[in-house]
Structure 1
Amino acid sequence: MIFNSCNTLQAVVGMFAHSTNTSKRTIEFLSHAGLSIAPTSINRMVGRLSSEARLLFKDELSGLVSAIGLDNLEVRFNGEQPTPENPGQLVSMTSAAFFPLHSGTTKEDLRVCEEPWARSPFNPHRSLPPVVFSHDRLMSMVLKISFPPEDEMSMHSLFAWHVCDILLNKDLETIPQDLKDFFRKEKLGLPAQQGWIPHTKTTQKPLHTMNISLSTSHGSAMALENILKQGGAIREQRKAHILLMHADLGAGKKYLGLQESRGIKDDAWDRLQFIIFLPGWFHIRIALADAMH
């Protein structure tokens, strides 16, 4: 028999207790006191919610306009009576989510799986020259979008604006406050803008946490296989359409290693040819900071 109604307070308290890893005995005590639902009811609720959540993204990747993001997740399971010899167990798992791409992105925009493979250094039959990342190539790209130093759009002018902004907003006793206010209002203004990226709200869809560690190449491969299965990825579609993947630099290195080791495979799916690794902005800033020291 299925009941369509329940005690809201008891259900909320029970789920909260479950989410905070409350012991079974405590939940049973709250249940007998009429403040929570029973542990068996909590387990049924979790199972039902998980089933409904699974339906939300079972066809996400077959739509071809979503990216994936994954990261390691460390959880410590403490014992009821932790001791120095047995403080608890630290488990490394993997969390992931789907990120629908910005509105306006079409399937055809991502139908470029063949070109990256044609330039890939892992392709033994490469038909196009590989993309070489070097300082000279970076500087040539910068020159294409650079402006003369006297132009307000030049890097010199923009850096000068940021220096003035720091001086006017920091609590520096050497500059009188009334002078700061005058320059901020009359002279500083806003930095020159060539273009701007509009803010868009991205609704991510969390996947089931995987009891898989990303510390090894084997674990990274298992995590990717699990994500593709949860999202309903279709093998034939991925021969033509790329899949953008966000992860930290360590995970990205392992996935590039997987692509290198599978470069001799005949099928795009087996080669993981469709995976395009994109490091997060946070990890890019860390790499830049390390390079400066």
Structure 2
Amino acid sequence: KTIVCISVMLQSTSQKCNFLQAILGIFFHSASVPEKVTETLAHSGLSVSLASIHRIVKSFSAKAIARIKASVRTMRSSYAYDNFDINFKISQPTVEHPSPFVSATSATVIPLFDGGTPLNLNLEAMKCSSEMWDRDPLNPNPPRPLNPTKTLEETLYDDLHMDSDYFPQNGEDLSPREKRFAWHIRDILIRHCPAPGGEYFRSLKQLNEEPVAINPIPVHKTEQIPCRAMNIKESTPDGNIEVVQNLLRQGGIGDPTEEG
């Protein structure tokens, strides 16, 4: 079987497309296979050359950068990032050259889901930064200055949260948000209240119907676009700031006059 598999690999070479060899070459690159070993495998027909591998990696990187910018610039994507640690072990570490331990940060872009038909959630509501800056008192030339008779909080609630569930609706004492809190309290009493009152609360289970769903998102496949790893330690406030700035640059947004 081994001879048959090797024969198939050797006979699948082409000057125009070496799909199997390209896949193996990318795998060797990701597994940090020594270059001399990769060159030997390339000469034996089991991998593409080192130059081809490097061109493939650059092509993948360019396409990934384009996807990141295309998604982030819609202002309808979110970032998720976390730290990871790598211990680069050395075969013979010394005091002068110990095994380096690197704490870096990885991130991914998650395009927001609008719910599809018939929900069509208002993702435009996420674009509130420009709206807030247009009304901000710190803006030297606000296009639409704040109403002096209202506080900043009142104006933001009126303009940006017209459909907010933080306020009671007409003729009701509790807001939709408070109603959901009340449902959870009743559910806790029904499920976990000890004796002697527990039996009474459990008898009311049928009366405590499910809470009203607010803009439920249907089950769907979440897409993500991996970002370039950053040699930044995000466990500090300064590190978090540096990570956010780096991600904004990767997404192609921010002040174009800033360096980087």
Cα distance in 1, alignment partners of residues 189 and 35 from structure 2: 59
Q: What is the DSSP-based 3-state SS (H/G/I as helix, E as strand, rest coil) of the residue aligned with 2:242?
A: helix
Aligned length: 193
Residue identity matched to 2:210: Q
Confirm or deny: 8 A CA contact 2:75 2:127 kept in the other structure: no
Partner of 1:110: 126
Cα distance in 1, alignment partners of residues 178 and 255 from structure 2: 41
Residue in structure 2 matching 1:47, options 44, 58, 62 = 58
Bigger Cα Rg: 2
Judged with a 3 Å threshold, the aligned counterparts in structure 2 of structure 1 residues 227 and 193 are, in CA distance, closer, same or farther, namely same
Q: TM-score, normalised by structure 2?
A: 0.58
Aligned-residue offset at 1:5? 2.5
Partner of 2:44: 33
Confirm or deny: 8 A CA contact 2:86 2:102 kept in the other structure: yes
Judged with a 3 Å threshold, the aligned counterparts in structure 2 of structure 1 residues 109 and 17 are, in CA distance, closer, same or farther, namely same
Q: What is the DSSP-based 3-state SS (H/G/I as helix, E as strand, rest coil) of the residue aligned with 2:70?
A: coil
Confirm or deny: 8 A CA contact 1:60 1:232 kept in the other structure: no
Cα distance in 1, alignment partners of residues 191 and 219 from structure 2: 23
Q: What is the DSSP-based 3-state SS (H/G/I as helix, E as strand, rest coil) of the residue aligned with 1:145?
A: helix
Partner of 1:215: 235
Please list every run of 5 or more consecutive structure 1 residues that lacks an aligned counterpart in the other structure: 120-126, 131-139, 148-152, 164-187, 237-269, 271-293
Q: What is the DSSP-based 3-state SS (H/G/I as helix, E as strand, rest coil) of the residue aligned with 2:81?
A: strand
Partner of 2:210: 193
Percent identity between the aligned chains?
29
Q: How large is the RMSD of aligned CA atoms in angstroms?
A: 4.0
Judged with a 3 Å threshold, the aligned counterparts in structure 2 of structure 1 residues 65 and 219 are, in CA distance, closer, same or farther, namely same
Cα distance in 1, alignment partners of residues 192 and 126 from structure 2: 37
> Aligned ranges for residues 1-293 of structure 1 at < 5 Å?
5-79=16-90, 81-83=91-93, 85=95, 88-103=99-114, 104-106=120-122, 108-113=124-129, 127-128=151-152, 143-147=178-182, 155-157=185-187, 160-161=190-191, 192-196=209-213, 197=216, 198-235=218-255
Aligned-residue offset at 1:212? 2.1
Judged with a 3 Å threshold, the aligned counterparts in structure 2 of structure 1 residues 84 and 62 are, in CA distance, closer, same or farther, namely same
Q: TM-score, normalised by structure 1?
A: 0.53
Judged with a 3 Å threshold, the aligned counterparts in structure 2 of structure 1 residues 159 and 202 are, in CA distance, closer, same or farther, namely farther
